[in-house]
Structure 1
Amino acid sequence: LEHLNLVLRAIRNVNQLIVREKDRDRLLKSVCENLTETHGYYNAWCALLDKSEGLIATAESGLDKDFLPVVERLKRGELTSCCQKALTQSGVVVTEDPSSTCADCPLAHKYHGRSAVTMRLEHGRKVYGLLSVSVLTHLATDEEEHSLLKEVAGDIAFALHNLELEEKRKRAETALRESKEFSDSLIASMQDGLSVLDLNDVHVDVNPALCKMTGFSRKELIGVGPPHPYWPPEKYEEIEKTFEKTLKGEFGGLELTFMRKNGERFPVIVSPSWVKDEQGNVVSYFATVKDITERKQMEEQLIVTDRLASIGELASGIAHELNNPLTGVIGFAQLLLDRDVPDDVREDLKTIYSEAQRTAQVVKGLLTFAREHTPVKQLVNINSIIEKVLELRAYEQKVSNI
């Protein structure tokens, strides 16, 4: 009776440890010490094993250095016969005289006049490892003793199960936190704007790029519904109709005009979408916003470039068409000047020849303008270049009184 009271006290202490201790290794060590300090058992040890019976952790009390050879065997996956038997059944395994029946056990010499009781630590069909205690031989076969020991083993396994759940919860929280930190960092580093809206189209989140793009701070946007601050008043109706298509699931790049805080309008491409839960219900909307101001400017420059190219081709064609008759005019004017003609006619011929030459220079300038020239670095006479430019712009200067 006295021994059973000591065991019950050990059980009570173990239960208190389970509630208080959250560190696995300290829990196992404290359990073993409680089982021996009550004087109910001479020594106690436990070992945690994985599914392939690989050693995870050990703890002991009352054995000290004598337990080290057991640890080494467990590390090598060499289980004694009592351990192997305990792992295959849910009941206790009693070794009445280990010193004579378990010659291969490193602890056999510690059990003179005593027996070993070994059982597995099991909860919810999962085996966590083994618990073994040393007890007087006449108590080793006592059914009530076995029942109490199984209760201790069950409590230890339950505690290990709780610690395992807690560890999984912490890992899940860590993974969730890291995932959120990563997504927040990803959103914050986006070059395009991003807005997240609830089902009432109220901003619940925006990234720095959208704030920088529009000039509105996060505080000025969060909690604000339509019309949003960056919608130009004259575009309210157009934008609302466009976003109504999103509610119907019609997604794609939408070219719209937004407004900066200073009132400046700028073109954007908005790509909206929605977020659904596991049941397929829409829970929120989000949209990326890309400022296409530079792209629009480049498109306008390309249009101007294309027009200039067309003008160049036209000018080249006109110049070639004019060159042929001009050559004839200049040639025949030269021939007539070489003849003996009246002075008044000669003056007219000189005018014809001079104006034809001037026209030929204009045509030459047009051809120079229209042709592609490979850039070449060379020494030039800057005065000559200025004179040619002035000749090319002579008509414009004349009509502009320059």
Structure 2
Amino acid sequence: MSTSTSPSYDELKRRLEAAESALQAIREGRVDTILGEREALVVRLAKAEAREAHLKQVLLAIRNVNQLIVVEDDPLCLIEQACGNLTETMGYHNAWIALLGGEAARGLGLQTEGPVAAAAAAGFDGGFEILRKRLERGQFPDCMARAMESGETLVKGNPAADCPDCPLHGQYGGRAGLVRRLEADGVTYGILTVSVPAAYARDDEEQDLFNEVAGDLAFALYKITAARKLEENRQHLALVIEGSDVGTWEWNVRTNETRFNEQWAAMLGYTIEELTPYDYATWERLVHPGDLGQARQALADCVEGRTTDYNCEFRMQHKDGRWVWILDRGRIMTRDDVGKALSMFGTHTDITDLKQTEESLRRQHDMLARTEALAHVGSWAWEAEGDKVTWSEELFRIFGLEPREQAPPFAEHQAFYVPADRARLAKAVENCLQNGVPYALEVRFTRTDGQLRHCIVRGIPEHGADGAVNRLYGSLHDITEIKRARERIAILGHMLDEAPASMSSTIARTARRSPLRFWPNKSNGKAGEPF
């Protein structure tokens, strides 16, 4: 019968030291397994313990980075502090970030010249400044170049051996490198590189966590870009509003709370202080009673989603009592989960001068239309490119057509004229187009009701920037009544030419049949009146 011998103190001490050494080797990623039954058990337990501790450190680093993302809007501070956060918990042994130049840098407010706009690192004893200068010259290390071409995480299992030309290759201490480009919304901002124990580098959970922190940093850069763009647009809009004398308003649809800018009040002769306190009812009070109904309806259509935009013209009362024409435009800015409007933004533009100009043009147009109607003269214009034809209302009436917005195409005009005159007119138009020679022809045309009419048609060329004729304009004068009047005058003239001889013979015959007799005027001794 054999008996087991208990290990001596020295043996136990040796085994403990071996286990601690194995545990340290596992933690540092220098070995994966150790032979021996007791040692293997210790190693497995130590490996699980080290793995759990590492994941906790990585999660803590990610939490710190997420907290940083919320508050930091400076891209340089972001990448510098992110590298520090990733390494200070020992989740990652070292880390570096490079941001690209060009349009991505422009969006971040960084210098756009050069291949790299900024770079930051943490956890390195040296060598990064050398790498920074290479990056600025466009000399990207192999890991960066490959990561830029791929949307996946790149693993460098042994940077010391795989990247002998990299200034950082000796800083990894047997650890592996993980590299991923920072991309969001189709824009590549740069890359992130970290080092992890080699045993974990290809682990799915390890890579998922790394992808998460890379995605968070990319989103943070995108957020900074979007915020800068929004601020630039806000400043641009403020300058546009200030330069264009546009009033602005904001309306809380639910509470009726409103905000007007100074120009909104100024175009009505007020200051904001004079209108304060103000709300939605202030606007209603100032709108002309005759326009308020249509303005309310247009606003309701937008709020209830029947129209995308709010657009209305109305009068508002100036402080001095006169009425100012306003163009009011707006759009719903926010809606709740069920689609009800929450807030709205819009602008006021003073269009009083425009309205007065429109009224003046309308009066001139009416006067011209009446003049054309009295003179039976219609006007026309033809743009050769696109065959765009414009007729005055009187020209429609001359041809026996109802005035409408669209005139017949120019090629169809020939059909109005009698065949004998078409060739002359076509030749004159062609000569005007090719050689710029104006024309004036007397031609005949047939109205839609069958009447034959006479007219004088005139055409004048208009030259474009290249010197070629690109437009004709002119008039058509219906002279039918003038020609008829001339014919009647000619007949009367002929009758007058023959009248003297006819009248002499008539008087002679009358005298022979009934000679005139005169009685003396006894009162004055002169011959009296004929009897």
Task: Calculate the TM-score normalised by the size of structure 2.
Answer: 0.38
Higher strand share: 2
Task: Calculate the TM-score normalised by the size of structure 1.
Answer: 0.49
Higher helix share: 1
